[in-house]
Chains A and B, each alone.
Chain A
């Protein structure tokens, strides 16, 4: 079965069509469940930028299959995406965005300097929304929740200094917020982030908060890993993704050590 996100060319680009090849056995095959999956992506706005965080594990069912997979991707000099869900679909989305950007660069023909032709985060987010929704209507979704980070733009497309953080899910639901989390992180990390979030957070504070959340997710989410990446978009520096690194963990908490299962309390392990 071939699953192609057609790209390039004006009409196809607005609504990338899905070509399904009929299997010899008859009938079409769709993605009915994700196979190789990444878990939570976290995102937070801070003073002067936006930060994303994700671990580098890609699971095959419950098997921790790839432990150095990068799930945070730069789309252009000032836009980042991060995705949980099917990893191959993330690769497909990333290829699509990169080739669209390449086409823009190659076909741009203007009397003006050509440094303002990149899509803004809001445009990437809105575009992904259209792609995801169209795919779900074909009953063949891209199985991802995608977080998009960058800077907000005016209706005409001019970039501003205001950070932008939005998410698109596998059926095309899209919304923005100051803090976002996908996957299991939406249950475990989001309440913690909402509690600690302030609009005027320093970069260091935001980073510490995200690392704490990732560590807690590693403790509680069986598909998470302590090997992580952090990425940020700032006005001056553009989009930057860190190399994967490992978080310190502490396993001597009483609840982790004592088996309370036998003494009639609320459990423990």
Chain B
């Protein structure tokens, strides 16, 4: 990153009208491993790629349960995400105590965005270096929200954040019209297929580094990892696509190659 006169703290504008510290924080989201989320009319699914520091270490947790009806996927600084997760769990519990019902996702997402925003306007703070995907099922149905360090929040039908997430996003954009009617397992498969595109080089999606969170009608938030993920990966294998360059049809290969080029510049 180049040196700049206007990036010494968050409250200083650059002459182009940018807040460089905030933009750097957004950069750390792009460095984090990929995380995707999508929803049907009945379910929301988060998928994430877990990283490990070394061969001998465990993989970093990427999907966190917040409440029975809500989970988050993270990209960026894990420590920041854990702080936010703790606060979100607290908010959900508080809501349950006061109202006796599950926290509406929209309200939590807005409050979360406000929390992000505060740091971008306060001299003594630094922005959270993490982007979150919220997947939930509440009284209005399934939801997917995306937040980022700048304090922006979007509700999405499907979205992806993190390193090489563009190819995941391309996959989602291409198939999103079929999502609303997808069954639970179908949605999980879509998540995995989108994730495969986000893997770097000749890496592979395995039961070690893959992670899925699902929540829906009559289903509490559930993590699918390790051995439980294997059947889905086997199915993916059967379809013939379990590493980055090996997508199931030609269009996709083309599309993804283009994305790869874009990422490398």
Contacts and interface: CB of A to CB of B under 8 A. Distances in A.
B102 A10 contact: no
Interface of B: 69, 91, 94-95, 97-102, 104, 106-107, 110-111, 114, 137-141, 143, 155, 157
Lowest 8 A-B CB distances belong to which pairs?
A157-B139, A126-B100, A157-B101, A123-B99, A130-B98, A158-B139, A112-B140, A10-B111
Interface string A103-133: 0100111111000110110110111001000
B96 to A, nearest CB: 9
A156 interface: yes
Contacts of A112: 140-141
Nearest to B101: A157
Contacts, number: 62
20 contacts: A10-B107, A10-B111, A10-B114, A14-B95, A110-B140, A110-B143, A111-B157, A112-B140, A116-B139, A117-B104, A117-B106, A123-B100, A126-B101, A127-B98, A153-B139, A155-B102, A156-B69, A156-B137, A157-B101, A157-B138
Contact of A14 (B98, B140, B143): B98
B157 A155 contact: no
Given A107-B110, A111-B157, A156-B69, A116 B140 contact: yes
Contact of A156 (B106, B138, B155): B138
A155 B138 CA distance: 9
A14 B94 contact: yes
Contacts of A104: 107
Contacts of B155: 109-111
Which of A112, A120, A122 has most chain B Cβ within 10 Å? A112
A135 B22 CA distance: 41
Contacts of A130: 97-98
A239 B95 CA distance: 25
A153 B102 CA distance: 11
A34 B204 CA distance: 72
Max chain A CB contacts within 10 Å: which of B101, B111, B138? B101
A125 B102 CA distance: 15
Given A107-B107, A109-B110, A111-B155, A153 B98 contact: no
A253 to B, nearest CB: 46
Given A116-B139, A117-B104, A123-B100, 11 more contacts: A110-B155, A111-B155, A112-B141, A116-B140, A123-B101, A126-B99, A126-B101, A130-B97, A153-B101, A155-B102, A156-B102
A222 B193 CA distance: 75
B171 to A, nearest CB: 21
Nearest to B91: A10
Contacts of A122: 100-101
A27 B211 CA distance: 59
Contacts of A127: 98-99
A107 B137 CA distance: 19
Nearest to B102: A156
A158 B101 CA distance: 9
Contacts of A120: 101
A101 to B, nearest CB: 13
Nearest to B144: A111
Interface in A1-32: 10, 14-15
